[in-house]
Structure formats: C-alpha cells, structure tokens
Structure 1
C-alpha cells in the first residue's frame, strides 16, 4: 500500500528545515511564501507544521502576512486570458486583469499598444487563433460589427478548445452577437456578450459595469473574471441581451451629453460661472453622469477629456456608430426614438465637421461656436 503520510523522521527533518530557513536573512515575503506553499501541499504533517510556524512568527507584522497571502491567493486563482483589442478601453482592462494575477495573452493591430502590454509582462501574438489556443478565456474589445465578425471567423477557423469561453465586450448589434455565439458554439467553444459602461475612467479604475448576455451558468463562469475589471456585473438575459442593454444605455448617454452641453452653453452665455452652475446641476434634478463625471466644459471636472483638448475617451465616431445601431434596432422593433434619432443626426453632423476622433463631449465645443440664425 502506498504510504500517505511521511515518517516521523522525514517530518522532523522538514520541521528543522523550516526553522532553519526562517532564521536566515531571506526577505519576509520569501519566507512566508515557502510556508504558504507547504500549507497547500497534501501532506498533513507538513501542512500542520507550516501553520504552527506561522502562528509563532511574532516577528511578522500583519501587513506583511496579508500582502503575501493575497499574492498567493491571486496566483492560485490565476487563469490564462486572451485579450484582443488594446485601445483606450481594452488596454486598461487588460492591465487590471494582470493586476488580478492572471496570465495575459494579447493581440492588437497596433504594435505600440501590444508593446505596452508586453512591457507589463503579457505575451504578444501575431495570430488570434494561436492566442485562443493558449487561453481559458478570450476577451474581445473591438470597434464594430464587421471587425468583431471577421476576428471570430479567423480565430475559430480551425476549431477551438471546448473549455475556452469567449467574451465579447465590444458594442455591436445584438443580432451580430447572436450570430457570433452560434459560430463559436459550432466550433466547439462557449460565448457570451458582455459590453461595458463606465468609460475610460471606469476601465482604468476597474469600476466598469458589465452587461452579460448568455445562460445563467455562463454568467456565473465569466463573472469570476469580469470582477477584476468592474464593480457591477449584471445578467441581462440570453445571447444579445447584453448588447441590447448597452445600446439603449448609450443612446441615453448621447442624448444626455447633448442636453448637458446645451444647458452649460446657455448658462455661460447668460453670465453664469460654469463651475457654479455645474455645482447647482449636480445637487439638483439635472444631475447625471455627463454633468458630474464627464462635464463637457473645460475647467469644470479636472479628469474629464474636456481638460485635455477632448483627446482620448469615447470618440465621436464611436458614439455615432452606437446611435446608428440603436436606430437600427429601434426600426426593426418598430419603436419610436425621436430624441435618439435627433442625437444620431447631431453626432453625424459633428463627425462630418472633422470631430470624429475627438471625445464625444466635444459637442459642447461645437455648440459654443454656433448661433441661432
């Protein structure tokens, strides 16, 4: 019969080794890491001795023990995660996954974006299919319907591992999300749509909201990964429902940004100080994300793109695309969206005037220079 536990002599030797190791000049973290490793192995005597030693280690302060334990826990839950699309949103999201202890496999058409992640320790791939083959989860964060569909076609062309879960956090048509799910399923994998809200600040600070479309079990599965990038993960229903929620939300966002920009512009022209008026709005019934977190007037909200020449953030081109998608699904569902349609037309005009690469809050800059004729 195979011996399950070590002899007393072996246990004694290990006991002596542990104490000898602790008495050396190794750093606190390394010594504690050894003990935590010994705790995890399936040898009862060694595990108990390691626990006993930790309890006796009065020289270890609580902060040091906590830091090491968190690190070990993070490594224990580490996954191989593929990330495709490392732009303004995808880059920070991927970084937060690495901070969560996961091993990242990345791809981006921009060598510069991929290089930034490589510098943080990620593995860069030239082919998405190779990336998928090394990943437990694959997250895509891409600009539009066509790029998402093409990426999944190429990535799954030769089949995928049956245990790989694909998560699309792009903002696309719900019908396209459903088609991608069928494609991935036919190739042997699993897929959920999980678009996000919260903008670049949410991506950087890991406070995004995820809207997940898929089965209950798939939702519970991907939630374990998404929590490293967001603070709220909501199950919206079946495939495509995450995208439906996102498009409705972004339609409201576009409408509200135009409304805030109009109100701020009018208040300033009437002689009100923009900061004073903003404070009034944000403590009154007009309060919203566009006024409080993302105010479009330079000098009002320090972290908003308005203070950086409207660079970065959520581009006018993308909000125009999302409003177009919202208009499309409104038409197909025979739903009137008069304000949404008007917002779409305004942003189309803004894009045609050369503001496409600017943050969508640049609508204020556009209105500021306009007059009623």
Structure 2
C-alpha cells in the first residue's frame, strides 16, 4: 500500500533512503536544511517540501535521519504539533538511548506514535537498500513501519521497547569498532613479520579470526576488492560516525557501570583518529594510524 512519507534529513544516508521509498511508489515529501541535498533527492522522485512542518502535516509516516539527539529533539519540538493524530514517527538517526526515549515520550504526549530505528550498513547499504534496521517501540508500530523498512533495507529486527533500537546499534558498533582495530593491528603485525596481506587474509578469513571487519571491510588494499581500502579509504562508514557511535557506547557503559575496557579504548582511538580525518576517510583507515604509530612501512 502506497503511503505519504515525510522524510526529514536527506544527507548521505537519508537521501538514498528517501529515493528508494519514492522508487517503490510511495509519495515522499523531503526536507533538509541543505538545498543541494533536497535538489539531489528531487532528481530521483522525492518531492521537495518548503518546511519540515509542512511535510509532516501531509504525511502518514514521518522518517528522520539526523546527526545527533539534540537535532532529533529540536525537530520533534517543532513538528509534532503539525502532525495528524496517530501519525507514525520513525527516527533512523543514531542517538543516545536517553534521547531516543525522550523523543518517544514527547511523541506520545503529542498524540502520535514513535519508533526508534537506527540502521547498519552505511552509505553503500542505504544506496543498495540493504540496510539492517534495529527497532525500539511497540509491536504495532514496528509492524506498521515494516513495509517501509523492507523497501529501504534487507532486515529489520524488533529489539524491544523505546530506546532498544539505539541500544542494539551502539552495542553492535562497539563490536565493530573493536574488531576493526584488532584486524588492523593484526595486518600491521603481519607486515612487520614479513607476511603478505593476502596470506594473512587467506588464513584468517577461513579460520577463527574471520569477522565482518576482515571479510567485507578489510582495512588493507588487495584481498577484498570492494573494501574502502581499495579506493583510498573513501568512506562507506566515515571515521567521524564511528567515533560518534563509540562515544555513545562509552557514555552508556559509564552510566551503567559496565567495565568495557576495549570499548572505552576503541572510543578513545577513534575520537583521536576522527579529529584528523573527520568525514573524509572510512573508519577502516585507522590501520594507517596503527602503522604510523608503529613506525612500520606500508
């Protein structure tokens, strides 16, 4: 069934997601503070909206993809009163669990429904509609959002109540950040021992060292032709975004009294790395920091 969707945030992730909804036959009213982002999405079937509130007033479902919790809460404060009663709000941003729960509470108080549904898969996944959605909220809201999530991704998991989607996202990305550092260190160690990248990959990818950071997003050029390492670390998932997600995980660990030694250290390393490269490099480029700090040639 075709829906009218207000899509707020048409950046590197939101733009392709909105376009995929439009290509599937949904009416998508798109808004972004950056005119160029709106123009790009409009070229692929997304209808430009002059304001976020205007888009929301006409929508059955509101999808948002924004940088941080403060942006989501500010958006909700400005648009909730414009929505028709019962409108479903689906926030796909990656934000703090507490902010997600606050957004949910504000939505319910305004007479609408809410689901937090952050994604995994990066820009490549957004463009190819292969994202994984981690959803938090009611079962009815998850079921209603399901057909739209299926258009934008290949898998959606209902993780629990409000904020549970964000909790799953930061836990997943803590695993990802730690594993990428471990894989990077292993390749640099292998270099120092005279081991070729291909030889290490051929062993680890079929042995107990196998993981996504190795087999899909391999941090060195050669073994995995589609990895960012083979295109000068042009980002699929930018270093700045990994630093942000690990920061959220570290904050949650501190607040929960969880001893997450590797997660905390990964957050520190990515924060330092992102200070230098920002959005310009994929998070797998941290292998070069490991190499540089090791004094090795690569």
The reply to whether TM is greater than 0.5 is: yes
Say if 2:278 is the partner of 1:356. Answer: yes
Instruction: Report the Cα offset of residue 118 of structure 1.
Output: 0.5
- Relative to structure 1, the CA distance from residue 85 to residue 301 in structure 2 (aligned partners, 3 Å threshold; closer, same or farther) is farther
Give the SS at the match of 1:227. Answer: helix
Partner in structure 2 of residue 269 of structure 1: 192
Say if 2:41 is the partner of 1:120. Answer: no
Conservation of the 8 A alpha-carbon contact between 1:143 and 1:318: no
Over residues 235-254 of structure 1, what are the superposed CA-to-partner deviations in whole Å (9 max), with x where a residue is unaligned? Answer: 11100011001010111111
Say if 2:208 is the partner of 1:285. Answer: yes
1:107 equivalent among 31, 37, 41: 31
Give me the TM-score of the superposition, normalised by structure 1: 0.76
1:240 equivalent among 163, 166, 170: 163
Partner in structure 2 of residue 184 of structure 1: 107
Conservation of the 8 A alpha-carbon contact between 2:23 and 2:45: no
Instruction: Report the Cα offset of residue 309 of structure 1.
Output: 2.1
2:15 equivalent among 91, 107, 110: 91
Instruction: Report the Cα offset of residue 318 of structure 1.
Output: 1.5
Give the SS at the match of 2:294. Answer: coil
Partner in structure 2 of residue 174 of structure 1: 97
CA RMSD of aligned residues (A): 1.6
Instruction: Report the Cα offset of residue 129 of structure 1.
Output: 0.6
Over residues 268-303 of structure 1, what are the superposed CA-to-partner deviations in whole Å (9 max), with x where a residue is unaligned? Answer: 232222123222221111111111111111233222
Partner in structure 1 of residue 244 of structure 2: 321
Partner in structure 2 of residue 11 of structure 1: none
Compare CA radii of gyration and give the structure with the larger one.
1
Partner in structure 1 of residue 126 of structure 2: 203
CA distance in 2, matches of 1:330, 1:116: 39
Q: Which has the higher mean CA deviation after the structures are superposed, 245-254 or 203-212? A: 203-212
Instruction: Report the Cα offset of residue 259 of structure 1.
Output: 0.8
- Relative to structure 1, the CA distance from residue 321 to residue 278 in structure 2 (aligned partners, 3 Å threshold; closer, same or farther) is same
Say if 2:62 is the partner of 1:143. Answer: no
Give the SS at the match of 1:146. Answer: helix
Structure 1: 5+ residue stretches without partners: 1-76
Give the SS at the match of 1:166. Answer: strand
Partner in structure 2 of residue 259 of structure 1: 182
- Relative to structure 1, the CA distance from residue 230 to residue 312 in structure 2 (aligned partners, 3 Å threshold; closer, same or farther) is same
CA distance in 2, matches of 1:288, 1:139: 32
Say if 2:80 is the partner of 1:153. Answer: no
Partner in structure 1 of residue 225 of structure 2: 302
Say if 2:289 is the partner of 1:366. Answer: yes
Q: Which has the higher mean CA deviation after the structures are superposed, 197-206 or 313-322? A: 197-206
Give the SS at the match of 1:153. Answer: helix
Conservation of the 8 A alpha-carbon contact between 1:292 and 1:301: yes
CA distance in 2, matches of 1:308, 1:92: 21
Q: Which has the higher mean CA deviation after the structures are superposed, 242-251 or 315-324? A: 315-324
Instruction: Report the Cα offset of residue 372 of structure 1.
Output: 6.4
Conservation of the 8 A alpha-carbon contact between 2:59 and 2:83: no
Instruction: Report the Cα offset of residue 308 of structure 1.
Output: 2.4
- Relative to structure 1, the CA distance from residue 308 to residue 87 in structure 2 (aligned partners, 3 Å threshold; closer, same or farther) is farther
Instruction: Report the Cα offset of residue 101 of structure 1.
Output: 1.5
Structure 2: 5+ residue stretches without partners: none
- Relative to structure 1, the CA distance from residue 239 to residue 301 in structure 2 (aligned partners, 3 Å threshold; closer, same or farther) is same
Partner in structure 2 of residue 30 of structure 1: none
